[in-house]
Homo-oligomer: A and B are copies of this chain.
């Protein structure tokens, strides 16, 4: 939607995303960052710095080559991950966080750390959750 009433301040609003709005580009960014493998890749790179492709694959348990490549491309395109390919044989590619990636990874890691620390509380809650209907 175009703001035909040209208030300069209104233009600025465009720059701050609103995740409650369905069409906002920030939704896409959120999807990339909080995607199943996106979270784990960001944390892995934050914890241990630069990784090669296969290192990441080993570190992030259960991820397939396809999804890892796909995830890395999304994060690279969003400017969170830096990809450096060395033109040697055999190929050698290093992935690391950009400054932008470091910033977002701080928050992601805070979240994952909390989950790791409190997963037992959640498991307890699940046990006590009474099924709304009879288990068949």
Is B19 within 8 A of A40, CB to CB?
yes
The answer to the question of A126 belonging to the interface, with a C-beta cut-off of 8 Å to chain B, is yes
Q: Which of A12-38 contact B (CB under 8 A)?
A: 15-26, 29-31, 33-36
Please give me the residue from chain B that is nearest to A39 by CB atom.
B34
Interface residues on A, range: 35 or more
Given contacts A22-B61, A30-B39, whether A17 and B115 have CB atoms under 8 Å apart is yes
Is B118 within 8 A of A18, CB to CB?
no
Please name the 7 residue pairs, one residue from A and one from B, whose CB atoms are nearest each other, closest first. Answer: A79-B125, A22-B62, A22-B61, A17-B119, A15-B120, A34-B34, A107-B111
A: which residues have CB within 8 A of B? 15-26, 29-31, 33-36, 39-40, 43-44, 59-62, 73, 76-80, 100, 103-104, 107-108, 110-112, 114-126, 128-129, 132
**Can you list 11 A-B pairs with a CB-CB distance of less than 8 A?**
A17-B117, A17-B119, A19-B40, A19-B116, A20-B40, A30-B39, A30-B115, A79-B124, A79-B125, A79-B128, A104-B118
